[in-house]
A and B are shown apart, each in its own frame.
Chain A
Amino acid sequence: MIRSRQVTAAATGLLLLCMAGSAVLLRQVDQVRTAATLQDVLYVSSPKLLKRLSLGYEGLLADVYWTRAVQYFGEKHHAGGGRYELLWPLLNITTQLDPHLIPAYAFGQTFLSARPPNGAGIPEKAIELVEYGIRNNPDDWHLYYDLGFIYYDLKDYGSAADAFLRGSRVPNAHPFLKILAAQMAEHGGDLETARMMWTATYQTTHDEQIRANAAAHLLAVQADQDVTELERLVENYLQKTGRLPASFAEMAETGYLRGVPADPLGNPYKLTADGHVFLRDPDDLPFVEKGLPPGYVPPAAPKIRPAD
C-alpha cells in the first residue's frame, strides 16, 4: 500500500529526474534543429503578410527577428563565415516589421556589403536596405552615413560624397558629415580617408560587432600606412646611399628611422633583400592590403578580436 510519504518522495524524484532529462533532450533537439532553425525565414515570402498576421504585435516580432539576425551572424562568423544567406532575409523582415529599428540598417550596411568571409557580399541589397531606412526615417543622420559608407566601400566616391552631403543637412547631424563629404570628393581613395571613416564608425556605433569590425579595419589601415611609409623610406635610403638597407636596425643606426618599427600589434616588420616590407603575422591583421607576402592566402575565419 502506497502511503502519502512514498508518493511525495516518488513525485519529487521523478520531478527532478525529468527536469534534468528535459534539459539534456533539449540540447539534443537544438543540435538536430540548427540547420532547420532559421530556414523558416526563407519561407516567409511576404514580410507584409507576416506583419498583418502579427496582429499588431509587429514591434515585438521585429525585435525577435533582429535578435535572430545578430545571433545568426555572430555564430556563423565565429564558425568561419560562409555566405550568410539568411542575413538579408532576416534584416529585410526585421525592417519591414519595424522600419524604425535603426541598428538594423547599420548592421546591414556593415555586414551585407562586406565580402565573404566577413559579410554577405551583396552591396546592392545593402543599398536597398539603407535607402528604405532613409525613406522611413528621413531625419536620422546615421542612415545617410551608412549609405555613404557603402558607396565608399564600392569606391564610388561621388555617390558617397552625395550621401554625406544629404546627411549633413539633416537637423542635429554630426559635424563630421560635412568634413567627410568634402574629403570624399577630393581624396576618396586615400588611406587617411579610410582612417577617418573607420574612426567615425568606431566612435559612433553602439553595436559590439560593428565596433570590433571597425577596430580591426583601423589596425589594418595603420599597418597599410606603416608599410607605405616604410617602403618610401627604404626607397629614400636607396636613393641616398645607392643600395638597399640590410635591415631596419641599419636604417635606424644611420638615422633614417627612429627605431626598429613594429606593426600595430607590436610585432616587428620584416625587411626583405629586395626592399619590400612584410608583416610578420598577416593572419593577425585581417583587412590589411599591403605588406602581404607573395602567395599569401587569408584564412577562412578571420580573427576579429572584440574591440577594447
Chain B
Amino acid sequence: MNSRILHIATNTFREAVRDRVLYNLVAFALLLSGAAVLVGQISINIERLVVINLGLTAVSLFGIVIAIFIGIGLVSKEIDKRTLYTVLSRPVRRWEFIAGKFFGLAGTLVVNTSLMAIGVFAALAYVSQHFQNSDASVLVALYFIVLQFVVITALALFFSSFSSPLLSAVFTFSLVVIGSFAEDLRGFAKMTHGITRLLATGAAYLVPNFSALNVISQVAHGEAVASQLVAYNTAYAVVYATAVLSGAVLIFEHRNLK
C-alpha cells in the first residue's frame, strides 16, 4: 500500500519537473539577485528588510501560483486525458491515488522552496555580509510558508476531485485570499449577533488560517517567532490538510468516472 502511494507521488513529482515547473526558480533567482544588488548599491540601511520582505513574499507568491496551477489539474486532468483508467484498473485504491497526488505536489513545493531558501540566504549574505542570530527566524517564516503550501495543495486537490480546473482555481484562490484575512473574519464575527454570528463564526473557523502563517513582516524586523506558535501552526496545518484530503477521498471514492 505505502509503496503505491510513493510511486504515484514520485510520478507526480516527475510530471511537475518535466512540465518545467522548476524553471520558475530562474525567474525567482533573477528577481532576488537583481533586488539584492540594487538595494546593496543604494544602501539605505534597510537592505535586510527589503531582501527578507521581497524574498519571502516572492517565495510565497510563486509557490501559491504553482500550488494552484498544478493542484487544480491533479485529478481532473487525469480524468480528461483518461490516464486514470489504466491506473485504477490496477490494485490501486482510490484513496491511495489521492494521497499519492498530494504528496507528489507537496514534495515538489518543498523542493522548490528549499532551493529558493538557498537563494534568499545567499541574497541576505550578500547585503549584510554576515549572518545574524535573527536569521534563524527567516527559516521559521519559510517553514510557515511551506505549511501554507501544504494546505493550499490539499484544497486545490479537493476541488480538482469534482470540479473543472477553472472553478477549482477560482475556489482555491478565493480561499487563499479569505484565509489571509481569517483573523479579521473572526473578529468581525464576534461583533455580529444572532444567526449572522453563528454563520460568520462557522465560516471564520472553516476558512484556512493563513493570517497566522504569515510572519514575513515580523521576521523582516528581526523579531523571533514564539515556539509555541510553531507547534500550534504545524498541528493546525496537518490537521486541516487531513480534513480537506478526507473530503477529497470521500468525494473521489464515490465518483463515477465517465
Contacts and interface: CB of A to CB of B under 8 A. Distances in A.
Nearest to A15: B246
Interface string A18-39: 1101110110111011001101
B209 A18 contact: no
Interface residues of A, number: 31
A14 B243 contact: yes
Interface in B207-229: 209, 212, 217-218, 220-221, 226, 228-229
A11 B250 contact: yes
B253 interface: yes
B229 A32 contact: yes
B218 A43 contact: yes
Given A4-B253, A40-B218, A25 B239 contact: yes
Nearest to A28: B232
B249 interface: yes
A297 interface: no
Interface size class of B (residues with CB under 8 A): 35 or more
B236 interface: yes
A18 B243 contact: yes
B243 A23 contact: no
B82 interface: no
A51 interface: no
Interface of B is mostly: helix
A146 to B, nearest CB: 23
Contacts of A265: none
A37 B212 CA distance: 8
A10 B94 CA distance: 13
Contacts of B247: 11, 15
A64 B253 contact: no
A71 B190 contact: yes
B205 interface: yes
10 closest A-B pairs by beta carbon, nearest first, are A18-B243, A15-B246, A25-B236, A14-B246, A43-B217, A21-B239, A11-B249, A22-B240, A71-B187, A11-B246
Interface of A: 2, 4, 7-8, 11-12, 14-15, 18-19, 21-23, 25-26, 28-30, 32-33, 36-37, 39-40, 43, 64, 67-68, 70-71, 74
